[in-house]
Homo-oligomer: A and B are copies of this chain.
Amino acid sequence: MINPFDDNYFMKKALEEAEAAFDKGEVPVGAVIVIDNRIIARAHNLTEQLNDVTAHAEMQAITSAANFLGGKYLENCTLYVTLEPCQMCAGALYWSQISKIVYAANDPKRGCGAMATKLHPKTKMTGGLLEKEASELLKRFFIQKRNLN
């Protein structure tokens, strides 16, 4: 039987969020948080619009998911995010004790891997899913931005 709710499906939803960020002139990063095959939070980067460095997609998604669940720990939840989380977001994910993180594109400069940010022992992380799509959107954004300046 085909399971329509696989990692690909949810990462595509995160990519839709990244595209929404792109359309607003924001660095295109999107995220969704899922529990039992149900999306309980969707968010995209809004740092420019909100003038706030803390408004990364993941941060908003964590707040939103906790609000939905009525508790601050994201047990049995998976975060799908189109770019590897930074120190701040990985640090927030540490506190949330989220079960799983799936990201698309690597961030070799400011990602939590390069920065050696610690994840919670309960958290598993994998990367590279739909990496090409996520990276191309980011590249397209920075090329467009360079041409406008």
By beta carbon, the residue of chain B nearest A87 is B91
By beta carbon, the residue of chain B nearest A64 is B52
Q: Which residues of B contact A86 (CB under 8 A)?
A: 91, 95
- A12 to B: closest C-beta gap in Å: 26
- A122 to B: closest C-beta gap in Å: 13
Q: Which residues of B contact A91 (CB under 8 A)?
A: 86-91, 117
Q: Which of A18-26, A66-74, A129-137 contacts B (4 or more CB under 8 A)?
A: A66-74
Q: Which residues of B contact A96 (CB under 8 A)?
A: 53
Q: B88 and A72: CB pair below 8 A?
A: no
* Contacts of A75-118 to chain B: CB distance below 8 A: 86-92, 94-96, 115-118
Give the complex CA separation of A54 and B54 in angstroms.
Answer: 9
In the assembled complex, A126 has its CB within 8 A of some CB on chain B: no
Q: A87 and B54: CB pair below 8 A?
A: no
Q: Find A88's partner among B51, B66, B70, B94 (CB 8 Å cutoff).
A: B94
Give the complex CA separation of A95 and B59 in angstroms.
Answer: 14
In the assembled complex, A43 has its CB within 8 A of some CB on chain B: no
Q: A115 and B115: CB pair below 8 A?
A: no
Q: A52 and B63: CB pair below 8 A?
A: yes
Give the complex CA separation of A92 and B96 in angstroms.
Answer: 16
Q: Which residues of B contact A51 (CB under 8 A)?
A: 66-67, 70-72
Partner-B contacts on A (CB < 8 A): 47, 51-54, 59, 62-63, 66-67, 70-73, 86-92, 94-96, 115-118
